[in-house]
Structures are given as C-alpha cells and as structure tokens.
Structure 1
C-alpha cells in the first residue's frame, strides 16, 4: 500500500512527461480514459468480450500467459494502453513497434474455426482496438459522468482512429460514429463463438482476482472480495443479452440495477480522491503509474506538443506497424507452420524494458 499524499506531494512524486503524446490534456481521450471506470470496468469488459473472437481465444489459450502470469499480463496491458492514450510519443511509438514483434509469436491453428490465427492480422487488431475503445466509453457513460456531448463523441471516435495508427490496422477501416461502431459489432456477430475455452477464460477473468498482485496478503485479498464482487457484477451488467447467453451468465435486471448504483457511487467517490485513484493504480499496475500520474495531476509536459502516431513513427525512425518486422514474422511463421516448432520469445523478452516485467513479483513492486 502506498502512503497517502497531498496533491503537491503527488506532483513532486512524478517526473513530467517529455511531451503530450498523441492527444493532449484537452482531448476527449484524456477525459474519458483517465476516469476511474477505465482501470477495471472498461478494461475487463473489453478483454472478456474480445474472447468471443475464436482466433483471439486460441492465441491466448495456447500462449498460456493469462492463466500462468495473470497479474503481469494485466499490468503490462494496462501500461501499454496508458502509454497509448497519455504517454509521450517516443516511448509509445517504440513500444508499439516492439509489440509487432511480440504479436509475431501469437500465430497458430485455431481448433474452433479450423483456420489459422495471427495476432498481427489487421482484422484481429481492429477487433481488439474497437472492443477497448467502445468498452472504455461505454463504462464511462454508464458508471461515470454520463454520455458525451455530440461534438465530444465525434472527437472521441476521430481520436480512436488516430490511435489505430499504432497498430497494424488500416485507420480508414476504423468506425468514426456511434452508428458505425454499432454496425461494426453487428457485422462481427456471426463470426463470434463462445467455445469451452472462451467460457473458461471469462470465468477465470470475471472474479477479478487476476488483477491482484501475488504479493497481496490473504487479509487484504479477503477484505477486497466485496469490492471485486461489486465490480464484477458491474461488468456483467454492461453485456448485451446475447453476450450473456454466450458466456453462460445469469444476472437479472434487479442485480443489474443494484450493480449500476453501487458502481456509480464507488467510481464517483474514487474520482474525487487522488489518493484512492493512486491506491488502485499502484495495487493493480504500478508500472503504469509513472505514465498515468502526470496526466491525472495535470503536470505540464517538458515539451507541450502532440504528434500523430504517423508523425512520431517518421520522426523516430520506426516503420508503420503494418510494414514492420516482416523478417521476424517470416521466421516465426516458418517455425510454427513449416517446422512445427514453438515460436521464439525474442520480441517478448525485449518488450519487458518497454511495457513491464513478466516476473509477477517484480511487476507487483511499488515504483
């Protein structure tokens, strides 16, 4: 547990960011993603719904990362998302470049569809991207301040498309309105599958114990059980009926209403307390705190400018993700599909210096 501090003490605790990243403090992205609903509700909603893509489930199950190092997987993912939305341009562009290498090992055969999966495939990346951006906004609206004004929502989806430049996605394929987002998910629905593996992963994630560090003592873990229950019920309350049916979840309208009231109250109180926000942040993902902290506190960046990802990639000498590291991807493809070997971990090992350690005890240390 980190010590409670005054705003001044918290401000002195963090180093200013080098720049304002890809959006800046006046963006709708900063407004929505830095609200407390993002850290657990929005993130868990997105990663569970993602598993309805059988290709993604195959990649997750066959890698084993979520089951065998759940806290590091959670922490590293949150840190990367934090870098994407509020982080400085150079380290984020570098992390995105390394992730292409990491995803190059997430290839193989999908037993549900009989096809192959590839985490760098643009359609797979777009599915993950849209479930994240949609879930973060949905939970902000449902449990936070409410629906964005029309002009802010328009900016939010434009910023969502800009962020897609950090991945192998074609930014022109990104929906840019609420109606287009709804149409995108409707088009995906026939391709979704709630396999046994999918339901097993959702059952593993939803109790939310996966987010807790292995160093957390039994007393504190037990004390947090009611909070985890409320948050989990809140996540379930956001699922449409067909998703609940696919996940084999039973939660009625009364529990939905209770979960909404309790979660709105919890997040309203948390939003008014910097100390509660930092307690959650350092408990769940201390590696993300140095990225999120300056944005939460409004600490001016050393260089108060923003870039688009494409501008940053050009400035720092990185290929755009769709064109990056074809040599590594080809080597991984040959290992997996031609020689029937496991993919190498070269990108995964390199990623630790950019998005956090894979050692569950090291990742749980307070920075």
Structure 2
C-alpha cells in the first residue's frame, strides 16, 4: 500500500450516526476491531443454521475469501464511521444483495433468507459483541458502566440499518448474554458450519500475496490471530464446532496480542497501512477519522433523519417487489436468483474480484 497523503483523503459528508467522542469510535477504531473482533464475528455467525446455509449456497467465502472479507468489513466500518448518505446507500443495496441468499435448508427442512429479521439480529449482535469482546481482551480493557450503556444503545441505533428491529437489541451486557443463551439450543455445528468456521479461521487467506522471504512472518501473524480469535470463543462453542486449543495457548496469546495492538495503535498511519493489508477498501472509510480530517458538515444524524434527508426506505421495507421476484425465481421456478444486487453493490462495497 502506497504512503497515505493527507491531501488525497476524501472527507466524509458528515459524521454519520456517531461521531468524535462516541464510544463507537473509541472501540471500533482500535486495531482489535478489523482483526480479532471481526474474525470472531464471522466465525461465530456460522453456528446459525439459516445463516450458514446462505453462506454455503453462495460459496463467496471460499471462491473470493479476500474480497468477501474486504467488502464485509468495509460495510461494518461504514456504519461506524462513514457519512450518513453513504451508509444509507450501502444499507439499501445490501438488502438487494441479501435477496440472493435464499433457499431451502440443507438439514432439517425449512427455508432460509438472509434478509430475515432473526438472521439479521444474529449478525448484528454477534458483530457488535465480538468487536467489544476483542477490545476488552486484547485492548485497553473494559468500558465504564456509562460507556457500555452507550455502546449497546448505539448497537440498537445501528440495527435501524438492518432488517431487524432495534427494539429487539438488548441494552446491557446481561441482556446480550440472555440473548445468546436463548439462541444456544438453535445453534448447530453441521458439516457445512464446521467447514465454514475452519475456513474463516485461516487468517492467511485474507492477506495479500507476499514475497517468499516474507511468507514465514506473514504466516506467523496469521497463526497468532487464529489463536487469539479462538481464545475469545467459549468452550461450549469450541466443543460444538470441534475446534481444539489448549488453555495454556489461550493465556499466552493475551500479552502478545495486547502488546502488538498497543504498539500499532501508537501511530495512525501504521494502523492504516496494516488495515490496508487485510481490507484495502476499508482504509478510505476510516482514514478521515484516524487522521483527524473533519467532514464537510460537522453534524451527527439519526438513521431516521438520514433516510428522510437522502430519500431511502427502512431496510425492512426496501425492495419488497424485487425480493418477491427473487423468491418466485427460487421457490416457484427453481431458478437461480438474480445477481443484480451484487452487481450494483460493487460501486459502494468494492469489487467482487
């Protein structure tokens, strides 16, 4: 990645939905977020049968590991840091992208739909919980009680950009724990879930090609991140998925990662260069925040205000006719769904290859 030049960085239109001083910017801008936190989220998600059925059917994580990671991380970063118009546009096109991920469950009967509110709630909570957990374990530590309250209120606000209801978002750590306990009987480590989880734990798949002399170091970094991510997963979840790692490794990796992340966090340009290795398209999203470049309008909006200003529907109500046509193609005609949403998303979330 070429050296960043401050004058070449495009400022955001506004502060989006959170802004400077928010706990979201504090937690999501720490280097644990795009690494261990994000990897934990996408690995844990696969235990949900409808979600992993959609992932397996599209095969994106296997055929385009690097670009899939890049595009997904870019979207999550946009919600936290980008301008409100850009985020509304991304959330809107994501509904069309997810309309392709529908079909019949491979185990136990029934159907899946990536736009289903229950699936979106699972994604939202595993994502936000994982980012916070990684920050606490390998970063500065636990938030204050007031910061944690603000964090889960922010999670509920961000849920307005998904098809789930913000009313279903717990507003406390205890509420989040209760949600995961309710979900636990519904989770399953099916063959496709185990395959996906083990694949997503291979951090080296999202790194760019490296010269032969640098490969040992690159693989060592990938191995360390894998160990760190597994160390954040509860034992029952590891046992369910057949993921083995000793308690000794769980302990030893903590000081290693805390030190590495603290050192990286000392220099914003170093952080951005490291981010560019795992998610090039996310750099433009977070660079203005890291380098203190103010937006064109220094204001924070709510999702409702942003939708009204920029002319977007609530995600749960967006593209209903298109989604109905997709369902008719798949369940009625037995055809493959249209990839129109994926094609349109490239302008916003980055190329597919």
| TM bucket, shorter chain | over 0.9
Partner Cα distance (1:164, 1:93) in 2:
12
* 1:158-186 alpha-carbon deviations (Å, 9 max, x no partner): 00000000010111111110110000000
Equivalent position of 1:362 in the other structure: none
Equivalent position of 1:363 in the other structure: none
In structure 1, which of residues 38, 41, 46 is the aligned counterpart of residue 36 of structure 2?
A: 41
Contact 1:96/1:167, CA 8 A, preserved across alignment: yes
Equivalent position of 1:320 in the other structure: 314
Q: Following TM superposition, by how much is the alpha carbon of 1:218 offset from its aligned partner in structure 2, in angstroms?
A: 4.0
Equivalent position of 1:364 in the other structure: none
Contact 1:38/1:136, CA 8 A, preserved across alignment: yes
Contact 2:204/2:218, CA 8 A, preserved across alignment: no
Partner Cα distance (1:90, 1:282) in 2:
24
Give SS of 1:40's match.
helix
Equivalent position of 1:238 in the other structure: 232
Partner Cα distance (1:59, 1:148) in 2:
34
Contact 1:46/1:132, CA 8 A, preserved across alignment: yes
CA shift in 2, pair 1:297/1:113, >3 Å = farther
1:133 aligned onto 2:121: no
Q: Following TM superposition, by how much is the alpha carbon of 1:78 offset from its aligned partner in structure 2, in angstroms?
A: 0.9
- TM alignment of 1:1-367, pairs within 5 A: 1-3=1-3, 10-213=5-208, 215-359=209-353
Partner Cα distance (2:281, 2:243) in 1:
33
Give SS of 1:15's match.
coil
Contact 1:2/1:282, CA 8 A, preserved across alignment: no
Partner Cα distance (1:354, 1:105) in 2:
17
Partner Cα distance (1:207, 1:2) in 2:
26
Partner Cα distance (1:2, 1:185) in 2:
42
Q: Following TM superposition, by how much is the alpha carbon of 1:68 offset from its aligned partner in structure 2, in angstroms?
A: 0.2
* 1:176-199 alpha-carbon deviations (Å, 9 max, x no partner): 101100000000000000011111
Partner Cα distance (2:332, 2:182) in 1:
33
TM-score by length of 1: 0.94
Partner Cα distance (1:323, 1:307) in 2:
20
Give SS of 1:84's match.
helix
Partner Cα distance (2:155, 2:25) in 1:
12
**Unmatched 5+ residue regions in structure 1?**
360-367
Partner Cα distance (2:255, 2:233) in 1:
16
Partner Cα distance (2:211, 2:305) in 1:
46
What is the alpha-carbon root mean square deviation over aligned residues? 1.2
* 1:69-128 alpha-carbon deviations (Å, 9 max, x no partner): 111100001111111000000011011000000000100011123110000000000000
* 1:306-355 alpha-carbon deviations (Å, 9 max, x no partner): 11112111111111011110111001000100111110100110000011
Give SS of 2:32's match.
helix
Give SS of 1:117's match.
strand
Give SS of 1:39's match.
helix
Partner Cα distance (1:197, 1:351) in 2:
26
How many pairs are equivalent?
353
Partner Cα distance (1:87, 1:218) in 2:
37
Partner Cα distance (1:219, 1:78) in 2:
29
**Unmatched 5+ residue regions in structure 2?**
none
Partner Cα distance (1:342, 1:217) in 2:
40
Partner Cα distance (1:216, 1:309) in 2:
41
Give SS of 1:175's match.
coil
